[in-house]
Amino acid sequence: MTGRRDPEGRRRAIVDAASALIAEVGVDNLTHRLVAARAQVPLGATTYYFATLDDLSRAALEHIAQTTVACLRSWAETIESSDDIAASLAELTTRYLADRPSALPETELYLAAIRRPELRPLSRLWFDGLVRLLSEHASPEAATAAAFLIDGAIIHSLSGDEPLDTGGLTAALRSLLSI
């Protein structure tokens, strides 16, 4: 796809492919071959741009974290212009979960961080950002608790089949944020 002479483009194509694959097969099942095939680059390219599979997966997880940060910015905007924060958050969470393929990578990052401490700063971007965002409208304890609640709901929804109960989530958030 990206012609032979476009190092930056190739790098990006590889990282994109790896990110998508992490959602599909899990970070532990990523392989050079899988990435090369998905990115439509020769096998050698994956090791040329990333010395190690570990490097490659880290780059992909960084990419995922950046997406997450972008997502947070969009949440911030929505909340800023909302007069019912709890309802807005519940709605944003529900919408976030509607697109499984885009919600999964972030969860993979969480899990990867459990066993790879070097990834923690990355995995904290989402949580800390969320807490900071909420802190502008509630006490620190309330913000942290609300973030726990949202993340718990997200992970459950991903590993279960039932959709989220937006109403219930709204009520819970409203209760928490007023601590």
Partner DNA sequence: GATGAATGAGACTTCATTCAT
Partner DNA sequence: GATGAATGAAGTCTCATTCAT
Class of residue 171 by CB neighbours under 10 A (exposed 0-12, middle 13-18, buried 19+): middle
Stretch that binds its own copies, among 5-13, 33-41, 42-50, 123-131 (CB under 8 A): 123-131
160 touches its own copies by CB under 8 A: yes
* Shortest separation between residue 74's beta carbon and DNA, angstroms: 33
- Say how far apart CA 155 and CA 168 lie, in whole Å: 16
- Work out what residue 91 binds among its own copies, DNA, none; the CB cut-off runs from 5 to 8 Å by kind: none
Q: How far apart are CA 45 and CA 33, in angstroms?
A: 10
Partner interacting with residue 41 (select from its own copies, DNA, none; CB below 5-8 Å by kind)? DNA
Query: Chain centroid to CA 64: how far?
Result: 6
Closer of 54 and 77 to DNA (Cβ): 54
Q: Which of residues 11-40 bind its own copies (CB under 8 A)?
A: 24-26, 28-29
Spatial contact of 46 and 36, defined as CB atoms under 8 Å apart: yes
- Residues between 88 and 117 that touch its own copies (CB under 8 A): 104, 107, 110-111, 113-115, 117
**The two structure tokens encoding residue 156:** 């459950």
Stretch near DNA under the rule CB under 7 A, chosen from 51-59, 82-90, 105-113, 167-175: 51-59
H helix or E strand, kind and range, residue 81? none
Q: Which residues bind its own copies (CB under 8 A)?
A: 24-26, 28-29, 104, 107, 110-111, 113-115, 117, 120, 123-124, 127, 141-142, 144-145, 147-153, 155-156, 158-161, 165, 168-169, 171-172, 175-176, 178-179
